Structure 1
Amino acid sequence: MSTGHVEYASLNGTHFFKIIGEVRAQSCISLDKLLGKIEKQSTNIVSAVVDLTQTTFIDSTVLGILAKLGLKLKQMHNIQSVMLSTNPDITTLANSMGLGQVFAILTCSEETKVCTKALPDEDANQKSMLTTVLDAHKTLCKLNQSNHNIFEPLVKQLEKEKEQEKV
């Protein structure tokens, strides 16, 4: 179970996401929904900052959702998103998953101070959880061959489960 949460703030087109503590797939349904809303905005998107300065653990689903954010902003708005990190292990993990391709990853010496509000916890039903985890891992597979090799079996299994739900 996750012992962390995601906070968010937006000002004048800059979207700021703060990942605090141990954040796993169960905690990112609301983040995925928020990104969907931001994706639909055609204007007022200037930049995005993902703050990992207080992150102690982040799983592949959360990394996939963040990759989706970075990819969409790069493709749709030609925006280079920024990722902040103070933890060398988190920085290494983000880079190893290919997030350096879609984010400018900056190492900081101290935590940032931004007024953010916690995203509400969403009641994750099995269908929404499956969709979120599947989309996140498909995004990671797109970033590089190494991710594709690692996550392709999981993606295939999740796709099977999704097909079974339709029956």
Structure 2
Amino acid sequence: MSTGHIEYASLDGTHIFKIIGEVRAQSCISLDKLLARIEQQNNVVGAIVDLTQTTFIDSTVLGILAKLGLKLKQAHQIQAVMLSTNADITTLANSMGLGQVFVILNYCGDPSVCTRALIDEHISQNAMLSTVLDAHKTLMKLNKNNQNMFEPLVKKLEEHHDAMDSVSDQ
């Protein structure tokens, strides 16, 4: 269970995501849906992911952030910025390849930036599985090490997803 949350703000095409505390997969469904809406916008000029108050982040959340960085680079030719002051979090982000799609800065800014908490959505198990699967597939795209690390997990998740789909079709 997550003991943290994600906050979000937007100003003149710059999107700010603040990840606070211990954030796991179930907290990122709203973030994934928000990214889909942002991807459709024409006025996107930048994005900042603030990890300065993050104490733990799982691979699904990292995959969703990788997706953000990749989409901004591909669709808007923007390199997003990631702020981190926790060496462990920075090392984890870099080891997953997020340095390829983000400029990662050691920054300790004002914690009272005007963001609002994203509300955790109550979703189906199938929707959660799809989000987790997509996040890990995105991490696999970043580098060979991630591909090797997450390939067994992705195969199992795909099998489970296919099984759930065949049950719902009956």
TM-score range, shorter chain: over 0.9
1:67 paired residue number? 66
1:128 paired residue number? 127
SS of the residue aligned with 1:136? helix
1:14 paired residue number? 14
SS of the residue aligned with 1:53? coil
For the residues of structure 2 that align with 1:146 and 1:110, how far apart are their CA atoms?
32
SS of the residue aligned with 2:126? helix
TM-score computed with the length of structure 1 as normaliser: 0.97
Identity, % of aligned pairs?
73
Cα deviation for residue 108 of structure 1 reads: 1.6
For the residues of structure 1 that align with 2:47 and 2:93, how far apart are their CA atoms?
16
For the residues of structure 1 that align with 2:43 and 2:111, how far apart are their CA atoms?
23
1:115 paired residue number? 114
Residues 96-123 of structure 1: CA deviation (Å, up to 9, x unaligned): 0000000000012455441000001100
Consecutive unaligned residues in structure 2, runs of 5 or more: none
The alignment status of 1:37 with 2:50, answered yes or no, reads no
Contact 1:22 1:57 in 2 (8 A): yes
Contact 1:26 1:124 in 2 (8 A): no
1:1-167 to structure 2, matched below 5 A, reads 1-41=1-41, 43-110=42-109, 112-167=111-166
- In structure 1, give the amino acid aligned to 2:164: E
For the residues of structure 2 that align with 1:34 and 1:88, how far apart are their CA atoms?
28
Residues 63-118 of structure 1: CA deviation (Å, up to 9, x unaligned): 00000000000001100100000100000000000000000000124554410000
For the residues of structure 1 that align with 2:130 and 2:106, how far apart are their CA atoms?
32
SS of the residue aligned with 2:122? coil
- In structure 2, give the amino acid aligned to 1:83: M
Name segments (4+ residues, structure 1) moved above 6 Å. none
TM-score computed with the length of structure 2 as normaliser: 0.95
Tell me how many residue pairs correspond in the alignment: 166
SS of the residue aligned with 2:44? coil
Consecutive unaligned residues in structure 1, runs of 5 or more: none
